[in-house]
Structure formats: C-alpha cells, structure tokens
Structure 1
C-alpha cells in the first residue's frame, strides 16, 4: 500500500474532540484483538493497524493501555449496578445475577480479566481500575443507602465498603472461571452476605 493510500484509508481525527466513527472503530478493534488472542496479543500498535487509526490519535484519547481496556469493557457493560426492587436481598441478587450472566454470556468476562491482569504489572492500570471501581462502589452503594432508609440494615453499615464485599464474590468467580451458578445457589450466597448487614 502506498503512503497516499494509507493516508486515505486511515480514519480521520478531529483534534482533541473524538471522532465517533474513529472511536467506535478503535474500541471494536481492541475488543476483537482481546477476544482473539488475549492480553498477550494486545498492543496499541495492533489496535491502530486493525482500526486504520494513527497511534498518536489513540494515545491522545487513551493515554494508557489500561484506560483503553476499561473503555472496551465499559462499552459492553449494561448491568444495573443499583437495582431497586424494594428489598436489599432481591436488589443484591439481581445485581450479582446480572453481572455473572454478563460476564459469561459474551466477551465481557474475558475483557475484564484482561483489565485485572494488566493492573497486576502496571501501576497506571492499577490506579485506573481502582478509580473505576471506587466510582462503581459509590453508585452501587445506593442499594445500601435505600436499605438504611427502609430500616433493613444497621446504621453502622458503610455502603461503599459493603458493595466492595458483595462484588468481591463475583470477582472471585470470574478469576477462577466459576461463573456458572444456579439461581438457588446464588440466592443462598446472597442470604449469607445480607444477614451480616441486617439490623439485629
């Protein structure tokens, strides 16, 4: 391919403002590479080649590989982090069942495992995932704030910490490849978790 042809096929950027077509192509390319070859095959260079995008554009929009990985994951995610069913036990059951199903039904689980793996060796990735999870705990903590207002849980319960404990179960299942769980088993798990938070 000539330099002129390469320039013509390379997707255009509009400066610091993201071009929606380019953004979608980059995220789609990144997801495909992760699914096909795992984290070992994932690089900004590989994403740029597949998306027909320039590396400077990718680095301008995603300064680190970890931030790009998180965007790939977040692009897929549709789980309601704070369902409102009227009871804390059912709220947490819906949260966990939705999350485990999302991770097992498509590529979400594989992508998030890649994000976690990246965080083990890259301090920037660790900070990015910590910030992402802190935001998720804050959002999901609404489950416990509502439960407090209904008098279901004790006053000492810290909503964000409680969410971290709840989602730790899901993380362990993801990282040990044990996402299959029956509704009956999950309800028992939720009951074990919730009983410790309830007003005695």
Structure 2
C-alpha cells in the first residue's frame, strides 16, 4: 500500500504568508493604503484574519513586509564600489528619486511613513530591517572613500550621510520640486564639494 506523506505545516504556512504579502501589495496598488484593510487582505489571500494577526500586529506591519518583499531591499543594500564615488552615489540617488516620484509609490510611502512614525514597534522594525542597514552600507562606502583620499581626512561619516540623503527626503516630504536625475546629480556634486579633501598647495616659494 502506498505511503502517504503528511502535509508539511511549514510549507503551508510559507504559502499562506506569501499569499498575504502578495495580496497586501496588490490591494495597496489598487485602492491605496487607506483603502486597504486586514479584512480585505485576508479575503484576497484566502486566509483568516487570525492568521494575519499571528504574524503581524497591524496593517502597517503587513504592508511594510510586502514593501520589502516586492522591492527586494533586504540583503541587497550594499552601495556600488566602482572607485568613482560620485558615480556610485548617483547610482543610488537616481533610482531613489524615480521611486519617490512615482505617484502610486508616493501615496504608499507617505501613508507608511505616518504609520512608522506613530507606531513604536513598526518604527523599530523599520530601523532594524531597512534604515540602519542602509545607513551602515552607506557609511562603509564613505569610509572607503575617506581612506582613499576622496573625502577630507576628518570627514564625519554620519553627517556626510545626512548631506546625501537628507535634502532628497526633505524635497520629497514637503513637495518642494520635482525629483529628477538632474536634481540627484546636483545633490551629489554639492555634497562632495563640501566634503572634498583640501586642495594640495601647488604654489612654489620664491
């Protein structure tokens, strides 16, 4: 008599988890963050609400996980290192500008940011899983640039990070102007001028 293989609970749970994340991403794209509910996510994913709450404490936590899964941010935050610091930074800020300029993504990011700022648990998740790894990856790239003499010897790496990312987020948050590749390039150029090593004294004494 043929033996039967018992269902694998772990595999079934992983399928359900993936279905929830897919449903959350689809609903946010279709009706926006505000129009998305735990009930709607559960119905589309074919799971019960209690299944969702077993893994996530809130709608914001589900959508944040869906955002990470869709954009593949986890595990891929290292900055390029071609030896050309300006080019490497542009390669980060240009696609970031494109993402923030997308109307659908803009609505989701703004709603999710509000949740992150008002939910301490979600804020901790955001710091641990996305923001802190991104800052550390950027800090590592800038440290290498400082060691290579591309930045001033005493460059404060945390302040340098703020010079690159801060103005872009400020422009996006307050809708101060379009987010373009030209703007991203200007940010990189301005920050690198401020952080450049002192010019060598090329003068000769009389």
**Same fold (TM > 0.5):** yes
What SS does structure 2 have at the residue aligned with 1:84? coil
Bigger Cα Rg: 2
Question: Cα RMSD between the aligned structures?
Answer: 2.9
Report the TM-score when normalising by structure 2.
0.75
Instruction: Supply the distance in 2 between the matched residues of 1:68 and 1:187 (Cα, whole angstroms).
Output: 34
In structure 1, the residue matched to 2:169 is 171
1:35 and 1:140, CA in 2 relative to 1: closer, same or farther beyond 3 A?
A: same
Report the TM-score when normalising by structure 1.
0.77
The offset of 1:53, in angstroms, is 1.3
What pairs up with 1:42-121 in 2 under 5 angstroms?
A: 42-78=36-72, 81=77, 82-104=79-101, 107-121=104-118
Tell me if the contact between 1:66 and 1:124 (Cα under 8 Å) persists in the aligned partners: no
Instruction: Supply the distance in 2 between the matched residues of 1:164 and 1:14 (Cα, whole angstroms).
Output: 45
What SS does structure 1 have at the residue aligned with 2:63? helix
1:99 and 1:185, CA in 2 relative to 1: closer, same or farther beyond 3 A?
A: closer
What SS does structure 2 have at the residue aligned with 1:40? coil
Instruction: Supply the distance in 2 between the matched residues of 1:76 and 1:111 (Cα, whole angstroms).
Output: 13
The offset of 1:116, in angstroms, is 0.3
Give structure 2 stretches of 5+ with no counterpart. 1-6, 199-206
Does 1:14 pair with 2:12? Answer: no
Instruction: Supply the distance in 1 between the matched residues of 2:96 and 2:8 (Cα, whole angstroms).
Output: 35
The offset of 1:29, in angstroms, is 1.1
In structure 2, the residue matched to 1:8 is none
Tell me if the contact between 1:100 and 1:179 (Cα under 8 Å) persists in the aligned partners: no
Tell me if the contact between 2:33 and 2:107 (Cα under 8 Å) persists in the aligned partners: no
The offset of 1:72, in angstroms, is 1.6
Give structure 1 stretches of 5+ with no counterpart. 1-11
Instruction: Supply the distance in 1 between the matched residues of 2:65 and 2:121 (Cα, whole angstroms).
Output: 15
Of 131, 142, 147, which residue of structure 1 is paired with 2:140? Answer: 142
Instruction: Supply the distance in 1 between the matched residues of 2:66 and 2:171 (Cα, whole angstroms).
Output: 21
Tell me if the contact between 1:73 and 1:112 (Cα under 8 Å) persists in the aligned partners: no
